[in-house]
Amino acid sequence: MQTIIAPTDFSVASLNAVNYAADMAMTLNSDLLVLHATELSINPELDDEKIEIENKLDSLKKALIGRTCNKIRVYVKQVSGIIENELMKISDVKNPLAVVMATRGATLKEQFFVGSITVYLSKNLKYPVIVVPQGVDYKPINKILLATDLENLYNLPIEKIMSAAVTFNAKIDIVHVYNSENEFEVLSTRMRELAGYLKCLSSQVHFIKSNNVYEAVTGFARNNNSDLILTFPKKHAFFYKSESKQLIFNAPFAVMTIQ
């Protein structure tokens, strides 16, 4: 049985992401592992902090078991170390269906570090990362918006795209935002090529002419009832560099990154 991993720092945003992960795990009949990392220290007072965290994790586990009606296995784990390193190590052992996380921590300082961790994992973790904005609840993922700049098509993780679509039994909307008519013919050829790679899926292609990629993509997602936006930050197959980060941090939708 596959596992969904959800890190938490017990902030409102991260607990919302944990709930999102729990609801997804119940829908997909997956195990759920909730992870909290405490950085190493020789301070003896941290023993009390460790006990406090264990109590919080125990309470959270009971709440999640109730939330999922005891239909899935819920695990909690406290580790000592840097969270991104611990997530990568545990992911290599668990081979998770996804790591589900928030982009914000409890304080401004934590928000900066959590955001940095999210960017790092989205570019380096070989398993899917799903970023959940605060206030976004899980709903069945029936439509996935795949946003692409149509560059480096040979480097796209086609098998992982197809696996995500099959896992969620979702339709795919392939979206490209352009601003120059001069390139449209070349882009159309590339779009047909990409659609050919995904021909075994239920997919449709869409071109949007706009100078603002973020607004075009989120507007399409809103107007077409997209449940998840799919991106590929490391390979730059997802549009125009800075826009990928803007989407991850600001879009009012869950965003999945795949390597």
Same domain, 151 and 107: no
Task: Among 68, 96, 131, identify where a domain stops.
Answer: 131
Q: Exposure string (b/e) for 179-201, b if CB count within 10 Å is 16 or more?
A: eeeeeeeeeeebbeebeebbeeb
Specify if 239 maps to a domain.
Answer: yes
**8 touches 36 (CB < 8 A):** yes
Same domain, 18 and 106: yes
Please count the structural domains in the chain.
Answer: 2
Confidence of residue 108 (pLDDT cuts 50, 70, 90): very low
Share of the chain above pLDDT 90, in %: 49
- In the predicted structure, residue 105 carries a pLDDT above the cut 80: no
How far is Cα 228 from Cα 258, in angstroms, rounded to an integer? 13
Same domain, 73 and 121: yes
Specify if 137 maps to a domain.
Answer: no
Same domain, 24 and 119: yes
Which residues neighbour 215 within 8 Å (Cβ) at sequence distance 6 or greater?
none
Regarding pTM above 0.75, the answer is yes
Which residues neighbour 253 within 8 Å (Cβ) at sequence distance 6 or greater?
133, 136, 218, 221, 226, 227, 228, 229
Mean pLDDT for the stretch of residues 190-219:
88
Confidence of residue 190 (pLDDT cuts 50, 70, 90): confident
Same domain, 199 and 149: yes
Specify if 136 maps to a domain.
Answer: no
* Domain hosting residue 47, numbered range: 3-131
Specify if 238 maps to a domain.
Answer: yes
Same domain, 17 and 119: yes
Mean pLDDT for the stretch of residues 159-178:
92
What are the start-end ranges of the E strands in 152-202?
A: 171-178
Specify if 71 maps to a domain.
Answer: yes
Same domain, 159 and 123: no
Specify if 104 maps to a domain.
Answer: yes
How far is Cα 216 from Cα 238, in angstroms, rounded to an integer? 14
Same domain, 29 and 56: yes
| Structure confidence by residue, pLDDT tens digits, 136-168 | 999 999 999 998 888 878 888 889 999 999 999
Specify if 85 maps to a domain.
Answer: yes
Specify if 240 maps to a domain.
Answer: yes
- In the predicted structure, residue 226 carries a pLDDT above the cut 80: yes
| Structure confidence by residue, pLDDT tens digits, 38-62 | 876 555 556 778 888 999 999 999 9
Q: What is the pLDDT of residue 238?
A: 45
Same domain, 110 and 154: no
- Residue 68 sits in a domain whose CATH number is 3.40.50.620
Same domain, 41 and 92: yes
Task: Among 103, 131, 159, identify where a domain stops.
Answer: 131
Same domain, 95 and 162: no
Same domain, 121 and 147: no
Lowest average pLDDT, out of 27-31, 60-64, 109-113, 193-197, goes to 109-113
